[in-house]
Each structure stands twice: as C-alpha cells, then as structure tokens.
C-alpha cells in the first residue's frame, strides 16, 4: 500500500503548468511533468483501501463514480512507489488500452471517488497514470505485440476512442481489423475534437503508428454509407462494429441563426487543428481581433475559449444556462459521487490572466442573434437571465427573468451545447433499431444490434460521454465480437 501513513505526511501535489500568458502564444501542451521522485511521493499516499471506490466505474447521481475501465489503481500506485515502473505499466495496460489519452484528457472520476477525498485530498491518480505510460514509452516497455491470427476479419467504422479501443483489443485477440474513418486523419475526436494544448497530435499518432505495426489497417477519407456502402462491408467482413460517435450537434433555433459568424464549436475546433497540421490557414475560422461569444459551459466551451485567445481575439465570453456550481460539495452531492463544484479550467485561467475576469456568465440564455450593419454578418447577441422552476409535471425548466435582457457585442458565436446522437445514414441503410434518444439500440454487455454480425459501441450506443467511457465500450464490444466470431 505504498508508505504506511503517507497520506497524513504528504500533501497532494499536481504538476505545475506553464504560465497562462506564456502558453497562449503557442499550441503546445501546457502541463510540466513532475520529477520521478515527486511522482513516487504522490503514489505513496494511496492507502490500498479495503474497498477501492476509485475503480468502481458506476453511475451515481447520473455521473461516473470511479474508473469506468476499472483501472487497478492501488496496485499501480504501490508499484510506482516501489520503483517497479515496468510492472506498473503492465498493471495499467491490463485495463486501459490508451493511458496516454486518459492521462491527459480524462476528468478523473477515479479521483472524485478516492477514499482520501472524503476527508482529505484525493490521490493524484490521473497524473500517476500519465507518468506510467510516458515512462513506459521512454524506457522501451511499450513493445509491438506478437499476434497469432484467427483468420477472422472485422470492420470498425469510426476511429475515435471507442473504435480504436475496439480495434486494438480485437487485433490483440488475433482478428484482422480494418478501421474506416471519413476524415483525412485517424483519431476521431482525439484528433479533431480536442485541441493540441490538451492532447498533442504526435501523441495520438504515436499510438496509431504502433497499432499499424501490429497489423491494424486504417482507411481514411472513407465515408461508410457513401463509399463504401455499409452493406458492402457487411458482405465482406465477418463482423462490423459501429463506433461512429454522437456527432449531431445540438443547435440553437433563434432568430438570426443563419447569420455569417455563427458556428458549431466542433467545426471551429476541427478547422483550427486541421490548419495547424496542414500548415494551411485557408479553412481556418479565425477569431483574431474579434469579439467571441461561446454558448455552453462544458469542456468544449473551455477549449473554444483557449483557442480563441490563441487566435488573438478582442474578447471572449462564455454563456452558461445553469447556475454557478458551489465551491464545495453540497449535501445533495455526497462522496463518492463526482464532485459538482466550481472549477477554473485552463481556458478560464487564460482569460482571467489576459482580460482580468472569468469569461463565464451563469443563468443566462440567448434569445436572438442580431446582424451587423451589413445585415449579413453577426453583430450582436441578445441574452436574458433565467431562473429554474418546476413545471406542472415537476420537471425543472428555465424561465426568463423580466427586465434582465442584455445585448452583447459579437463577431463570432460558437455553439457548444453538446450533441443529440449519431448521424443516421448507416443506421437507415442497415435498418438498425434505435432507442428513444436516437442512439443505436444494443444492450450494454452484449453490444449486438438487431442486425446479424453488426455491433455498436461508444457514444453511438450510449450517447455523448467521456473518452474513458468510450474506451470501456470499445473493450466491451471487442469481447462480445470475439465471442461471436469464435463460437460461430
């Protein structure tokens, strides 16, 4: 259990970050790795609890509590403390295909359920995970797997975290895996949905290159349903796995929505990353010298704040319809639930450093977009405050507060309100059943659709969620596909 009593002696310490005013000058990752000695000290704080809630991976209060892929957290913490890095790596990859992704972008529900977090500060599980995988790559522990082939062929549609986890797991089991991606690069949201500052694309390609060396075949610029058809893949392969994500963004239907300058956040972020990778700004949606209003308070909204600042925006504001979270847990949000408390993420830190205030405006909604003098492009955003009341059915709904209207200057609006579900071209082509939320109907644990040989996983099956849930789904569907292929 690491060092007995270390949690009483050693305070929680996380990696430092480059100063906001320095890091906004580039798109490099901003976290500064800790020394090996400091990492060992942090790992020593793990108590090896009798009940390790950190790897429970359940839903409490509608949110993840503990690690959805059930990482063996106390074990790898102890191995870090003892300096057994290669064994720590083996423990980590036993449950997690891509620790280099989760160690960077996961919100760490494991830490929210750490027993020490009940009375003290939780163990730095996320950074320990990051440290293990980077040490493993640096030390040569990550080696190409020797694989015995089964002769079975599987097509995976989509190369986001669930598709990659599915492909990696099935390939390790000996099946020949082909991954089809409609974008020009592999990685899905890992490539085009998460900015470089949080996840450098060289890190993504490092893993993709290893998977290719191990035999996974990737086909880019292939929009299944158009070329090739989903039916063609179904006829050609022994099984087809749908990991296409929940890519239909939630829109805001208000007057002025069709004005030039109103974009979905995902399009803004993708264009930015593509311009960096291609070294070509022709498709960039630039925020330089512009007033930016972001609608949505989640991670995507934060990423838009940080990206707009790097473009050199005149100002950036982030609108959130929900109330400001409390600074500490409320009685209705007990441990080991995910703590719903106020956090200042990297984008907000940068806006505060540059402009002096937090960009977030709470309990506010947009009522319309107003044109500039040219009557074509965006000029203003009209907002109103809301209060949350119960309707006649007892559901909470936002009601406008009379007299609270405000007019915000805006050259660009970025809609970051989440996603509604999967696109439906493949679903319709194969006549696949959907649930009430439009997701593909496939029971968790089995992942089978109503169509023979067709499985589904990730956001396409469960709805918009975390990268770590997508990896869990990819591993789960791979197990089901393997059972299907080997017992067929």
Per-residue pLDDT tens digits for 122-165? 999 999 999 999 999 999 999 999 899 999 999 999 999 999 99
Rounded mean pLDDT of 442-466? 96
> With bands split at pLDDT 50, 70 and 90, how would you rate the model's confidence at 1?
low
The whole-number pLDDT of residue 394 equals: 86
What burial class does residue 120 get, using C-beta atoms within 10 Å of its C-beta: 0-12 exposed, 13-18 middle, 19+ buried? middle
Q: What is the pairing mode between strands 360-361 and 217-219? A: unpaired
pLDDT band at 50 (very low <50, low <70, confident <90, very high): confident
- Express each pLDDT in 407-451 by its tens digit: 999 999 999 999 999 999 999 999 999 999 999 999 999 999 999
Unique residue bearing structure tokens 């790596």? 89
Q: Which of 64, 141, 60 is nearest to 99 (CA)?
A: 141
Between CA 382 and CA 296 the distance in angstroms is 15
Sign for the CA dihedral angle at 310, 311, 317, 323 comes to negative
Same fold, 153-247+421-487 and 251-417: yes
Residue 277, token pair as written in the block: 């990778």
Query: What percentage of the chain exceeds 90 in pLDDT?
Result: 90
Element (H, E) at 317: strand 315-319
Nearest to 471 by CA among 152, 88, 67, 58: 67
In angstroms, the CA 179 to CA 167 distance is 7
pLDDT of residue 119: 86
The pLDDT of residue 7: 84
| CB atoms closer than 10 angstroms to residue 28 | 10
The predicted structure's pLDDT at residue 62 = 81
Could you tell me the residue ranges of all domains in the chain?
6-139, 153-247+421-487, 251-417
CATH superfamily of 6-139: Alpha-helical ferredoxin (1.10.1060.10)
CB 231 within 8 A of CB 343: no
- State which H helix or E strand residue 408 sits in: strand 406-409
Query: Which two tokens mark 226?
Result: 């158009």
Residues in Cβ contact with 390 at an 8 Å cutoff, skipping those fewer than 6 apart: 396, 397
What is the distance between the alpha carbons of residues 447 and 458, in angstroms, rounded to a whole number? 10
**SS3 sequence of 203-250:** HHHHHHHHHHHCCCEEECCCECCCECCHHHHHHHCCEEEECCCCCEEC
CB 241 within 8 A of CB 482: no
Cβ count near 431 (within 10 Å): 9
Average pLDDT over residues 170-184: 98
Tokens of 25: 């000058």
326 φ/ψ sector (left φ>0, alpha ψ -120 to 50, else beta): beta
Task: Say yes or no to pLDDT of 3 above 90.
Answer: no
pLDDT at 477: 98
DSSP class of 144: P
Give me the architecture of the 251-417 domain, per CATH: 3-Layer(bba) Sandwich (3.50)
Task: Determine the angle formed by the axes of helices 161-172 and 467-487, rounding to 10 degrees.
Answer: 40
Q: Which helix (H) or strand (E) holds 293?
A: strand 291-295
The answer to whether residues 177 and 217 touch, using CB atoms and an 8 Å cutoff, is yes
Task: Give the model confidence (pLDDT) of 347-396 as tens digits.
Answer: 999 999 999 999 999 999 999 999 999 999 999 999 999 999 998 888 99
- The per-residue pLDDT of the chain, averaged, comes to 95
Task: Using the predicted structure, report yes or no on whether residue 397 has a pLDDT greater than 80.
Answer: yes
Share of the chain above pLDDT 70, in %: 100
Mean pLDDT of 197-215: 98
Contacts of 311 (CB under 8 A, 6+ apart): 272, 286, 287, 288
> Higher pLDDT residue, 291 or 61?
291
DSSP 121-175: ----HHHHHHHHHHHHHHHT---PPP----S-EEEEE--SHHHHHHHHHHHHTT-
Q: What is the pLDDT of residues 234-270, one digit of tens each?
A: 999 999 999 999 999 999 999 999 999 999 999 999 9
Q: Which CATH class is domain 153-247+421-487?
A: alpha beta
* pLDDT of res. 59: 87
Contact 432, 421 (CB under 8 A): no
Bridge-based pairing state of the strands 396-400 and 378-390: antiparallel
Rg, C-alpha atoms of the chain: 23
Contact by Cβ (8 Å): 128, 16: no
């Amino acid at each position: 259990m690491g060092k007995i009593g270390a949690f009483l002696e050693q305070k929680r310490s996380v990696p430092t970050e480059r100063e906001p005013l320095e890091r906004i000058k580039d798109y490099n990752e901003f976290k500064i790795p800790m020394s090996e000695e400091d990492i060992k000290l942090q790992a020593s704080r793990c108590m090896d609890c009798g009940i390790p809630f950190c790897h429970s991976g359940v839903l409490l209060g509608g949110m993840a509590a503990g690690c959805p892929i059930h990482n063996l957290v106390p074990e790898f913490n102890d191995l870090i403390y003892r300096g057994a890095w290669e064994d720590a790596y083996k423990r980590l990859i036993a449950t997690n295909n891509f620790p280099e992704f989760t160690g960077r972008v996961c919100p760490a529900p494991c830490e929210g359920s750490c027993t020490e977090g009940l009375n003290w500060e939780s163990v730095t599980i996320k950074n320990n995970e990051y440290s293990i995988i980077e040490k493993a790559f640096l030390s040569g522990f990550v080696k190409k797997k020797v694989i015995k082939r089964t002769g079975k062929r599987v097509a995976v549609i989509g190369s986001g975290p669930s598709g990659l986890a599915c492909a990696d797991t099935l390939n390790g089991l000996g099946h020949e895996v082909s991954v089809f991606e409609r974008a020009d690069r592999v990685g899905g949201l890992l490539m085009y949905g998460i900015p470089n500052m949080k996840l450098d694309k060289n890190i993504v390609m490092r893993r993709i290159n290893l998977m290719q060396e191990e035999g996974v075949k990737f086909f880019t610029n292939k929009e299944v349903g158009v070329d090739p058809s989903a039916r063609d893949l179904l006829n050609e392969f022994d099984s087809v796995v749908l990991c296409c994500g929940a890519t239909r963004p939630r829109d805001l239907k208000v007057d002025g929505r069709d004005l030039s300058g109103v974009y979905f956040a995902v399009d803004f972020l993708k264009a930015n990353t593509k311009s960096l990778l291609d070294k070509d700004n022709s498709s960039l949606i630039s925020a330089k010298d512009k007033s930016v209003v972001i609608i949505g308070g989640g991670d995507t909204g934060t990423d838009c704040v940080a990206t707009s600042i790097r473009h050199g925006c005149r100002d950036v504001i982030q609108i959130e319809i929900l109330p400001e979270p409390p600074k500490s847990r409320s009685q209705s949000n007990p441990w080991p639930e995910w703590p719903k408390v106020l956090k200042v993420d990297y984008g907000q830190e940068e806006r505060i450093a540059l402009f002096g205030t937090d960009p977030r405006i709470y309990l506010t909604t947009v009522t319309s977009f107003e044109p500039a003098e040219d009557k074509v492009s965006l000029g203003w955003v009209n907002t109103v405050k809301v209060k949350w009341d119960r309707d006649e059915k007892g559901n909470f709904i936002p009601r406008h507060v009379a007299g609270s209207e405000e007019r915000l200057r805006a050259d660009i609006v970025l809609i970051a309100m989440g996603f509604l579900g999967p696109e439906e071209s493949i679903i319709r082509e194969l006549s696949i059943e959907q649930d009430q939320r439009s997701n593909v109907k496939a029971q968790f644990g089995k992942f089978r659709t109503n169509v023979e040989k067709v499985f589904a996983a990730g956001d396409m099956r469960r709805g918009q969620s975390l990268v770590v849930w997508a990896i869990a789904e990819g591993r789960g569907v791979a197990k089901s596909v393997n059972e299907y292929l080997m017992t067929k």
